Amino acid sequence: MSITYDRNTEGLPLVHKFADQVKGRTFLLTGPTPGGIGAETVISLAAEAPATIILIGRSLEKAQPTIDTIGKVNADVKVKFFEADLCSFKTVRKAAQAILDDAEIPKIDVLINNAGVMATPFKITEDGIEHQLQANHLGHFLLTNKLLPKIIAAGSGARLVFVTSSGHRYTGVRFEDPNFTEPDSYHEFGAYGQSKTAVILYAVALNKRLASHGIRVFTLHPGGISTNLQDHVKALDPARVAKVMDDVSERVMGRSLAEQREAEPWKTLQAGCGTTIRAALDPDLVKEEGIYMHDTVLVTDPKWIKEWATDPELAEKLWKLSEELVGEKFDI
């Protein structure tokens, strides 16, 4: 099956193309909220008969419509749901342990860290961490590292996929003050950019640690898709939104928001999950250079991926900071 890889590449055709990478395998995804990229990803995967789809979300009630749709696509797919709030290390540890203890889950072939928030008001979580940093990075750092025994059990060819964002180009990690304790230092998109840079640096560090197992890690920008991810932005004062979003667009995309929307209109959900699905399934990606995907292709051009997100020394620095913030060391 010949498919052109670009911003319009849809997820379902890729699932069919790489059907042998789906059938009988176990997939885990965070953030299965209906109407989002995560839900579209697992619903598409169901079309080619994975053995098990594991979903992690804040409540079964919110995830149930996604579970029901998977059942309609393929009633033979086993779906397991585990409740966890990425902004609560206690619940993440509980969910991870439940998955490790589940004899019906001997391995995890593909883990997709999809859940996230964007441009939320300043908030410190119950664990004392800035909200976006914990929701987008640290919750996944803890969950993924805890689940590594079952990912490694899948053997060579297992894969980890982290949904990040072009927003990483806004700023790097504030190593000296990641929680924005300095007065008046918080900026919704500064915190978002930090968290998404952290996602990529974590992937760089993890890729190095898992190389001997034949396991690869990829990160990706899914593109502009209108979902509930933008709810906090929509709630901002309209006058401020216009100013802030133009500034963000200039720093991230190099053009005004209006110019960006004209050049790249909103993607559909199917096109939005296309990059995730290629990252999860395409066996030939391991032959290419890079860790970051944009519009379904791996890219290394600094226009798309900032050096502050791929620097190996910063990746190790981020790993150590993340261990300190979650209160646990991981010798991988």
Q: Is 124 helix (H, G, I), strand (E, B) or coil?
A: strand
Eight-state DSSP code of residue 130: B
Catalytic residues: 186
Strand partners, 162: 113, 219
Residues 6+ apart with CB under 8 A from 247: none
| Distance of alpha carbon 21 from alpha carbon 23, whole angstroms | 6
Pairing mode, strands 216-221 and 292-294:
parallel
Query: Per this entry, what is the length of the chain?
Result: 332
**What residue spans of the chain are helical by DSSP H?**
11-17, 37-45, 60-73, 89-101, 131-133, 139-152, 188-210, 231-234, 238-253, 257-263, 269-272, 274-281, 312-326
Q: Is 201 helix (H, G, I), strand (E, B) or coil?
A: helix
The shares of helix, strand and coil residues in the chain, as percent rounded to the nearest 5, are 50, 15, 35
Residue 236's Cβ-count burial label (10 Å; 0-12, 13-18, 19+) is middle
